[in-house]
Every structure is written in C-alpha cells, then in structure tokens.
Structure 1
Amino acid sequence: MDTSPLSPGAHTVVVDGVAQRYHVAGKPAGYVAGNAAGNAAGETAGDSAGTGPVLLAHPGGPGISWEDLRMPEVEKHVTVVYVEPVGTGGSDRLPSHPHGYTRARYSQALDGLIDHLGVPAVHLLGHSHGGFVAQHYALTRPDRLAGVVLYDSAPVTGPEHFAEANARMEEFARRSAGNPGLDDVLDVWRSLGSLSDDEGMTRAVRGIVPAYMADFWGREEEFLPLLPSIHGTYISGLDERMVPDMVDDRDALGSISVPTLVVVGRHDVICGPRWAEELHRGIPGSRLVVLERSGHFGHIEEPAAFADAVAGFVTGTTAG
C-alpha cells in the first residue's frame, strides 16, 4: 500500500502543532522522491496512466468545505491536492477559533503542507476567499510556486467589494423576478452579516447557491443533488486581536512574478468580471479566462472549459 504524501486519498499533516487534512486525487504525481508514479489512483476521475504535476486547491469561504471544489475533469490531467484549511472540516481549530484565520495563518499552513509533500514547486489554485490566500502566497512566497490560479478572486475586500456584489445581486434579482425561490435567496443574502455558528453557515452557503450560478433554476435537476454535500464552518474574518483581516492587493499586483491564470464566471455575483479584469491588468503576463455560462462555480457549471483552462495552464507552466 502506497502511504507516500501524494498517494490517493485523505492525509493529515501537523504544522506548528495544528493538524491539517488534505485529499489527493487525479493523475499520480511524477516528480516527488518516494512516490511511485503510475500507481492506480483510487480517487482518479478518468485515465490514471502517466504522471501529473501537482496543483494545490484552496477552497473559499473562509470556512467552506473542500468537497465543493472537487474538479474531476482537472484530475484527469494533474494531481490535485485539495486543502482542508485549518479551522474547517476535519482539520484542527485554532485556540482562538472562530478568530485568527488570517491570510498569513493560512499561508503558514500551506508552507508546512508543501514541505510535507516534498514537491520543489507547486501550482496553487485559490477559489473565492481561497483566491485571496493564493494572492498573498504569490506575493510573499513566489519561490515556492510554479504558478498560481486566481479563480473567482478579487484584489480588494471591504465596502467597495460589497457595493459591487450588492449591485450584481440586484441584477440577479431582476433576472430572476417571478421565480418562487428568489425571496428565500435574498433573505439569505441579507442574513450573511449576522452568521455566528456552523449550522447557520451551512444553511447560508446552501441557500445562496442559486444566486452563485448562472442558471441554477434552469438546471435545477442537475445541481440540486449537490446541495447536501455543502458544509460550512463559521469563521469570523477577524484576527486574534479582533481586527478584520482585510484585503487590498491592488498596489502590489505588479510585483507578482509567478505565471498567473485568472479565471472568472461571467455571471459571478460575489467576485465578478470587474475584479478579474483588475487582477489581470495588474499582474504582469497574466492570462484571463472568462467562462461565459458560469457564475461562481465554473468547475461545476462548465467543467470541460474550466479544465481546459486550468489543466492547460498547469501543464504548460510545469518544468521538466
């Protein structure tokens, strides 16, 4: 039985006394000492022959379950390491929980995970809030990355970001006028600032999904079964001193030196094209892919187009 850090399945690594879970799926990794390239991958979606570069996938939230980011089409081409961030799911909580989960803290956990994997340089994909983490990592630890994928991310949080999201939510409401589920979605949107526990977080992330997809109700039979798998952990967004962990990377984007792919859904409400275009303009040499029939979950809404963009980028920027 292969028990190497990149063998398929669930693993745990302890970083600075805090256990972090991660999950490996996809093509066997081909350039890590001690890892038998070509092993049959128990979680592989599709052909397991050959080897793949390593892509770390950091989910959003903060506090959203890693399963929601599962990308079977990407797994056909690369080894995907799904991070279960500290404070979420089966990973340990910090002593300051639900506070203290800053980008710096998540980056510290990524350092330990990358050390544990033994890969010289990985690709890092961050979705939504995970994109904020990935941006921070690319700015502070470029030597550890072969490339970064900023997926439905934004260069800034706070009032400006909220105003844009609120305007796009109003557009969604106009498009969805007359749908019997609209009022429930808008109630969830208005409640997001009052969340305080895991149960409420899970209820909210499930309830907001129709607004986060380009055509949820038109494809409801396809998407509805996904909802029970969505889980949330309440994380405050405050550091240990109870100060908000705000993001404003706009002035620093020009110093991102690693190959960068920016991916966004045309109909994304929370981290829409405005922010993707700003990231793309600010990051030298970056590539922008807009998924025209997606909202916030392009890996689910347009899996083939998403995989073409992400797997193509990862394999095209892998040395060797």
Structure 2
Amino acid sequence: MNSSTTHADPLSPGTHTYIVAGLVQRYHVHGRGPVCVAHSGGPGIFWDYMRMPALEEHLTMVYIEPIGTAKDNHLPSHPHGYTRERYSSLLRELITRLGVPKAHLLGHSHGAFVAAYHALYCSEQLAGVVLYEGAPVTGPEHGAEAGRMVEAFAAKHAHHPGLPGVLAAFGAMSGICNDEQAEAVAKGVLPSYFADFWGNEERYGPLRGAIRATYISGLEEDLVPDTVDDRAALKDLRVPALVIVGRHDVICGVRWGLELAELIPDSRLLILENSGHLGHVEEPELFADAVRRFVAETAVPQDGAVEDSTGQAPR
C-alpha cells in the first residue's frame, strides 16, 4: 500500500494520522509497556468507548480508528464495502508501521470478528489475540441466539419504564439507513449491553450519552452480506488466544465464548460474571488483569527474556 505519515515516532502518545490507499487512517496511543492494538466494534461505532485506563497503566494501547466512522475516511462505496478483509489489510499496515516484532491484538464485538480474521490470515504479525465478546459465526444462528437473550433481558426487566425504549431500538435496527438512526439505535439498545445498567445508571449513563455511530451496512461492495463462519478455520489457529465474554451479554454471549474457546487450540477463557457486553467498563480491573497477564505470558522474547509490564519475568 502507498502511504504517508506526519509522525516520526509511531508509538508516541496521542493521535496519529496517515494516508493509506487514499484513505485517512487514524490511531490513538495511550499508556506504556508492551504494545496491544485495539479494534472497536460496530461496525460504525466510534473508537473512544474502548478506552481502557486500567490497561493503559501496563500496556501501550494503540486504538485504531476504523475507517468509515469519520467523514474523511469513507470508502467510495460507503456505507458498503467495510469487510473483515479490508479492516484486516489496514491492521496489517498499522502493525507494520508500529515497528514492533509482533503485537497483541484485542478486538471487541465486531472488532473480535476482525481480530479472528487477522489472527487466521496474518498470524505472523501477532504474539497473541484477545477475542472479546465475539463469536465464530454470524447469520441466522447468531441472530436467533441474540433474540433469545434479548427476550430473557425483557423478561427480567418487564416492569422497568426504560424497557419499551430498548425494545423499540432493537426493532429499529433492520431499518437503519443513516448516521442519525445508527447513533439513536446504539444509544437506545445500550442498557441491554450491561449486566445492570439501570441499577448503575449514574455510573454508566455518561457512556450512553457519549456513544457516537456512523451507519455502515455490513454489506460488501456488491451488496452481498459479509457473513462469517470461522468454525473450521479456528481449529487450526496457532496464535495464542484469550477469549473474554460477559455472563449477561445479549449479543455475543456465553454460548459463543465457550464455542470459541473449544474451537481454538490451547485458548484461555475468561467469563466475567458481573458483566454484559462491556466488561472493560463493568469489571475493569478483572478485565485488565486478565489481558495484562495474557500479554506478559505470550510476549515475544527480547534480549533473552520475557518480562511483564512491571519489569519482572512472569512466574
């Protein structure tokens, strides 16, 4: 890819911008320690909900800003054409320019599908992959399971005055056709993405208000759905993997976390018992400790030793 950058140090703190294949690509660097690239979900949700201060204390977190979310990085085919293959090609460019022998890659929700693809087809770039609230498949089977989980959420909160709004937002998903609708739906469904949003609304409410979204269709350029079925391929994945799932996740729940862990050889599984779809917000210390330990234990040896983020060899 032909690309250019205005930053001499690709891992200096702050926002970095470069041009790749005619597109503006941004990423944001926070923290210090081993490098972990984070890919947010959606597609179309702005990256900043992914900020993980507890991880930034131990790792250099590189938050990629997925193309399609900002006005200056839309594909000519927008809102179509944002496939896993395309996102992976941009991850390849980013990790190459970071200048590290191998990086860790953490993908959340749709970003976990992208991370799985990158681990399968660009494994040489990765020391490890964190599949956070992902699944091995999309399509009718995944949709049916999500529907079952949303019904369970509705039954649990049947008398809450906020429930009709959440269900209306889910009902509006299939009709999204612009940015305003995408953002309204993202904010509307968000209470169901937490284990107990309404019991902690003072804590979680600001995140709901800050969510930003762009409409991305999920279709390829030729309007064919960009569907996923990684079940066969994941059995041969050789990149160390950590699977993280919240017990109360309605979108990519425990069923899928268990299946990913069973499919991927020698993978690790963390079930966050008091989280929904956003465990890095709901149980940040437990989440961060698991990721930090995984990174420390799978880091590529340098200078003859593998060290964790405190400077000590892992025990």
Cα separation, partners in 2 of 1:172 and 1:187, compared to 1, 3 Å: same
Q: Which ranges of structure 1 fall in alignment gaps of 5 or more residues?
A: 28-51
Paired position in structure 1 for 2:250: 269
Q: CA deviation at 1:120?
A: 1.4
Q: CA deviation at 1:90?
A: 6.2
Paired position in structure 1 for 2:45: 64
1:13–1:113 CA contact under 8 A, matched in 2: no
1:67–1:229 CA contact under 8 A, matched in 2: no
Paired position in structure 2 for 1:25: 30
Paired position in structure 2 for 1:16: 21
Q: Which amino acid aligns with 1:211?
A: S
Paired position in structure 1 for 2:293: 312
- Supply the distance in 1 between the matched residues of 2:30 and 2:71 (Cα, whole angstroms): 17
- Match of residue 67, structure 2, among 69, 73, 86: 86
Paired position in structure 2 for 1:202: 183
SS of 2:18's equivalent? Answer: strand
- Supply the distance in 2 between the matched residues of 1:308 and 1:111 (Cα, whole angstroms): 27
Give runs of ≥4 in structure 1 deviating > 3 Å: none
Deviation sequence 1:44-95 (CA, Å, 0-9, x none): xxxxxxxx11000000000111111110001111000001011113661111
Equivalent residues, number: 295
Paired position in structure 2 for 1:127: 108
- Match of residue 173, structure 2, among 192, 201, 204: 192
Please, what TM-score do these two structures have when normalized by structure 1? 0.91
Q: How does 1:242-261 map onto structure 2 within 5 Å?
A: 242-261=223-242
Paired position in structure 1 for 2:212: 231
- Match of residue 81, structure 2, among 100, 103, 109: 100
- Supply the distance in 2 between the matched residues of 1:135 and 1:90 (Cα, whole angstroms): 27
Q: CA deviation at 1:312?
A: 1.2
Deviation sequence 1:207-240 (CA, Å, 0-9, x none): 1110010000000111111122210010011111
Paired position in structure 1 for 2:90: 109
Paired position in structure 2 for 1:294: 275
Across the aligned residues of Structure 1 and Structure 2, the Cα RMSD in angstroms comes to 1.0
SS of 1:255's equivalent? Answer: coil
- Supply the distance in 2 between the matched residues of 1:159 and 1:243 (Cα, whole angstroms): 15
Q: CA deviation at 1:3?
A: 4.6
2:92–2:122 CA contact under 8 A, matched in 1: no
- Match of residue 175, structure 1, among 156, 162, 174: 156
Cα separation, partners in 2 of 1:91 and 1:80, compared to 1, 3 Å: farther
SS of 1:196's equivalent? Answer: coil
Paired position in structure 2 for 1:144: 125
When structure 1 is superposed on structure 2, of 258-267 and 228-237 the one drifting more is 228-237
Cα separation, partners in 2 of 1:91 and 1:318, compared to 1, 3 Å: farther
- Supply the distance in 2 between the matched residues of 1:234 and 1:205 (Cα, whole angstroms): 10
2:38–2:107 CA contact under 8 A, matched in 1: yes
Q: CA deviation at 1:13?
A: 2.2
1:157–1:247 CA contact under 8 A, matched in 2: yes
Deviation sequence 1:87-136 (CA, Å, 0-9, x none): 11366111111000000000111111112211111100010000000010
- Supply the distance in 1 between the matched residues of 2:31 and 2:171 (Cα, whole angstroms): 38
Please, what TM-score do these two structures have when normalized by structure 2? 0.92
Work out the percentage of aligned pairs sharing the same amino acid. 57
